[in-house]
């Protein structure tokens, strides 16, 4: 190379070296790396990691609304889907504590219009998905477009003379059961389900943004995330489906901050007694027909040393995982149909468990 060309090359190399020294390449944050699919101009997620009551990670990624470009934040409210079931279970336990009902009450005591085939079903069996109740989604017309209500679910089950199996003999996850439990809460308490949850659980715990959402009744969802599905190479809003209006099985919206307060209440007597919490987290039945090894309590799956539950509905995937012995909790809420966040939560927790 001629000297006239060598000097510019040396100057360029020196410039690159100085730039690299001034801006060294940093290792990516492992949590951001685990959450990378939620980052950018895509449907997002909110993440919370709590240990010993201290918030270690509180982050959000992506967008809560692709149309308005509103970013997801820790205040964003996501539809919890089946994570709602633990609140319905807690409502039942509160009524047990008040002497309003018993876990061994027959379901037909509170919903006598159900068929005689359901006569042996107890509330305990409904809580643990061992009732044998037929899933209402299996009874809905295939071409249904309107949203079914809790009353609509009850009417379908009133006309259904069969069960999947004898009550108490097997496990089969049942959204029907938790819809009916919500109706039992209303009949035993004399209050609408949304009001009971607000007055007896949310407000006492200082959860001011969580709510059981009922369109046309009560407040709208604050800081609402809208659900999306990845279809034909692009994100499409899929926020509602024919089953998105039922309540006890999945109708709650919340942000991670309010779920932190709920998580804390599960460790002491501020809401439920020790006996109620022991019942909630007791491994009553073995989970079968699902892709993970677990037993089921009341609104919680139990695997190894974890207490957890996922929530999936059109456009939302969520999970809460608790390690009670290690006083660690990881919560992931997302407004998208993919990925499934359970594995992500476990990966995020691993360094803290070590």
Catalytic residue numbers, as ranges: 82
Task: List phi, psi (to 5°) of 158.
Answer: -60, -35
Closest CA to 174 of 215, 129, 216: 129
d(CA 306, CA 98): 29
CA-CA distance, 123 to 134, in Å (whole number)? 15
Q: Which of 326, 325, 314, 321 is nearest to 352 (CA)?
A: 326
Q: Give the CA distances from residue 329 to residues 39, 173, 193, 300, in Å, rounded to whole numbers and listed in that order.
A: 22, 24, 27, 14
Q: Is 42 exposed, middle or buried (0-12, 13-18, 19+ CB in 10 A)?
A: middle
User: Within 13 Å and on the Cβ side, how many CA atoms surround 54?
Assistant: 5
Place of tokens 């006996």: 275
């Amino acid at each position: 190379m001629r000297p006239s060309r060598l000097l510019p090359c040396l100057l360029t190399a020196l410039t690159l070296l100085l730039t690299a020294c001034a801006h060294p390449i940093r290792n990516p944050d492992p949590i951001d790396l685990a959450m990378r699919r939620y980052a950018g101009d895509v449907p997002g997620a909110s993440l919370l990691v709590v240990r010993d009551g201290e918030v270690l990670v509180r982050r959000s990624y992506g967008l809560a609304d692709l149309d308005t470009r509103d970013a997801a934040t820790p205040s964003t409210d996501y539809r919890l889907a089946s994570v709602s079931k633990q609140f319905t279970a807690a409502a039942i336990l509160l009524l047990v504590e008040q002497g309003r009902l018993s876990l061994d009450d027959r379901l037909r005591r509170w919903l006598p219009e159900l068929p005689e085939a359901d006569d042996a079903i107890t509330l305990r069996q409904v809580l643990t998905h061992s009732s044998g109740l037929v899933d209402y989604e299996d009874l809905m017309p295939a071409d249904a477009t309107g949203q079914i209500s809790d009353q609509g679910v009850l009417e379908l089950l009133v006309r259904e003379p069969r069960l999947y199996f004898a009550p108490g003999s097997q496990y089969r996850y049942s959204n029907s059961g938790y819809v009916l439990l919500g109706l039992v809460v209303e009949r035993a308490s004399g209050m609408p389900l949304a009001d009971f949850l607000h007055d007896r659980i949310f407000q006492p715990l200082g959860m001011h943004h969580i709510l059981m959402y009922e369109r046309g009744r009560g407040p709208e969802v604050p800081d609402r995330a809208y659900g999306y599905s990845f279809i034909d190479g692009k994100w499409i809003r899929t926020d509602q489906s024919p089953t998105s209006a039922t309540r006890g099985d999945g109708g709650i919206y919340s942000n991670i901050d309010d779920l932190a307060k709920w998580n804390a209440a599960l460790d002491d007597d501020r809401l439920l007694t020790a006996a109620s919490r022991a019942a909630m987290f007791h491994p009553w039945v073995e989970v079968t027909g699902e892709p993970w090894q677990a037993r089921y309590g009341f609104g919680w799956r139990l695997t190894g040393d974890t207490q957890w539950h996922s929530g999936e509905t059109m456009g939302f995937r969520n999970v809460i995982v608790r390690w009670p012995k290690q006083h660690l909790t990881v919560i992931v809420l997302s407004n998208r149909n993919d990925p499934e966040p359970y594995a992500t939560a476990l990966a995020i927790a691993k360094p803290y468990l070590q």
